[in-house]
Every structure is written in structure tokens, then in C-alpha cells.
Amino acid sequence: MAKIALKVDIDTLRGTQEGAPNLARTLERFGLKATFLFSLGPDHTGWALKRVFRPGFLQKVSRTSVVEHYGIKTLLYGVLLPGPDIGKQAAAEMRAIDQAGHEAGIHAWDHVAWHDEVRNKDTKWTKAMMQKSWDRFLEIFGHAPKTYGAAGWQMNEVAFEQLDEWGIQYSSDGRAEANLIPYRLALPSGKSKHVQYPTTLPTLDELIGVDDADEFGAVDKLLAITQSNPNDQVFTLHAELEGQKLLPAFEKLVIGWLNQGHDLVTMGELHQSWEATKQLDKIAVLPLTWGEIPHRSGELIIQNNETLEIN
């Protein structure tokens, strides 16, 4: 069957110290590896409260209990409590995941600041935030990251060009509502050197509460999408969700995918498989496009299949 890449977004201190290790232990039981993308600077989760005025946000949080998943303390970081430095306080947990053979990459420096502001920020701000994450990653892991995955699927053109300057070969910074079709981006500097592998499957929190589905009903919906589907996919999970309360549901999902015959891989392994079959020789070069997807508030980067050129 197909390959399904497991991409773990880690947004908070709690997710790094508790959720990510839980996921690593679970994956180990199945003999699997995943790509873990770390937030490396301050945890300012409380700043996200201003999203209450964004269309669709209240509907989303009413379906998935934010307090239950993140905890009161985390929701106060940056508001009534100072935002802890994740990279300083959870470096040991990060290194343990890397040393266990999982793929480690960059998610953000300050998750909430990046998520809410990067789209409209200038070159100076963007490069400064990215350089902080790069420097901290090197400090913690002692090697450069192989991949990147944007917080909240939010980027700008400068950020994409920075990935090329770093030498990142593959990244997952957007969404697509279909089977995986890797692409390069059309940027002011030309077509991107790195390849984009967008998240193609809906996340659990986008499915929970829809048609009254609980977390296990959401798993059933995902398994229905991948049943007898020969196409590669990218699935994004969150250390704060699947690594904690939704861990039993994630275990059911993993078992279901394995029973369907799918190969669960890291982003690096997915990229290598496309390289090995030379399918990256000629892929679409697509414009940077923003749009909405079902059951997630606000605009994010989406795949635009209007081909500009073929490389």
C-alpha cells in the first residue's frame, strides 16, 4: 500500500516534556519512527487567547477541550505567567527523541508569535525568528536539522527562501485536501530548491465533534480515507493531543493503518522514496497560496494545483 508520513508538531513545554516522550514510547512498541518538530524558544500559549475573535475559532475549541488538552498553567503562559523557555527546560527530552532514532526538525522559535504574525512580517523579523530557532537547534542537538514544518501552516516568502539558504531539502509547511503531490514553490528568488510535502490528511482535532464524532469516531473517518488508497499521505499530529489524552485513539489509528498494509514513515523516509523513484525530477512549481480548510479557523497555506511550470 502507500506510505503515510507521521509528522509530530510540538507547540508547548508540556507537549515537549510529556506528550512527545509518550508518543516516542508508543511508536517504539510498534517499531516505528516519526518526525518530531520542536518549538525551541518561549512558550507563549496564553497569547493565543486573542484568537477568540477569529471566525470559527470558538467553534473549533468547543469541539476539542483546550483546557483539558493543554492545562490551565500552559494557557496562562505569556498572560499571567511568564512564558518558559522550552529549549532550556526540555533539552533533555528533545535529545532523547533524537537519540532514539526519530527525525528531529524545527517547528518554530515562538509558536504563537509565528503562527499569528509571520504572514505579514518583514524580512528582518522573519530572519531573526528563524535564526534563533536554528541556533537553538544546533545548541541542543549538535547537528543541523534535516527538515522543517511551519507552526500553524503559516509562512512567508522570506521564510521559504531561508529554508533554501539553510540547505533544507524537504519541508511540510502547508495543507492539501487530496493525495500527496510534492511540489516546489515559486518564490521571488525563483523556484524553491526544497520540496514541499503538504499535510494531506485531516487532523484528529479537525474531525472530533463533526457529526458528533468522538476521538475514536475521528479515527474511523481517517481509516475510511486511507482504506484501499494506494497514494502516499502526510499526517500531522500534536504532542499536546495525541501524545496525551488522545493517545489511545492514536494507537487505534496506528494499528488500523498497519492492518491496512500502509508503511508508516518519517518525512525523511518519504522524501527518500520519492527521490529513489526519480519522481522529483519533474514536479510542479506552484504559487504561494492561502486558503481555508474544513473545521480549522483562519487562513493557512494550501496547495494550489495551478501549475506554473514543470521542472
Under a CB-based contact definition with an 8 Å cutoff, are residues 159 and 118 in contact? yes
3-310 fold: TIM Barrel (3.20.20)
Model confidence at 265: pLDDT above 90: yes
Task: Please tell me the predicted confidence (pLDDT) of residue 70.
Answer: 56
Task: Please tell me the predicted confidence (pLDDT) of residue 44.
Answer: 73
* Other CB atoms within 10 A of residue 59 CB: 11
Closest to 232 measured CA to CA, from 284, 278, 269, 185:
269
Tell me the pLDDT tens digit for each residue of 51-88.
443 444 444 444 455 545 455 565 655 555 567 899 99
Average model confidence (pLDDT) for the chain? 90
The H or E element spanning position 87 is helix 86-89
Question: For 242-261, what is the mean pLDDT?
Answer: 98
Under a CB-based contact definition with an 8 Å cutoff, are residues 203 and 234 in contact? no
Question: For 7-23, what is the mean pLDDT?
Answer: 97
Task: Please tell me the predicted confidence (pLDDT) of residue 303.
Answer: 97
Under a CB-based contact definition with an 8 Å cutoff, are residues 109 and 151 in contact? no
How many Å apart are CA 262 and CA 274, to the nearest integer?
Answer: 16
* Other CB atoms within 10 A of residue 100 CB: 14
Task: Please tell me the predicted confidence (pLDDT) of residue 61.
Answer: 45
Task: Please tell me the predicted confidence (pLDDT) of residue 48.
Answer: 53
Task: Please tell me the predicted confidence (pLDDT) of residue 1.
Answer: 75
Model confidence at 128: pLDDT above 80: yes
Task: Please tell me the predicted confidence (pLDDT) of residue 297.
Answer: 85
* Other CB atoms within 10 A of residue 206 CB: 19
How many Å apart are CA 108 and CA 89, to the nearest integer?
Answer: 16
Is residue 311 very low, low, confident or very high in pLDDT (cuts 50, 70, 90)? Answer: very low
Task: Please tell me the predicted confidence (pLDDT) of residue 47.
Answer: 43
How many Å apart are CA 205 and CA 63, to the nearest integer?
Answer: 8
Tell me the pLDDT tens digit for each residue of 168-219.
999 999 999 889 999 999 999 999 999 999 999 999 999 999 999 999 999 9
User: Any idea which residue has 526540555 for its cell?
Assistant: 90
For the chain, which residues make up each domain, given as ranges? 3-310
Dihedral sign for Cα 235, 24, 68, 9, please. negative
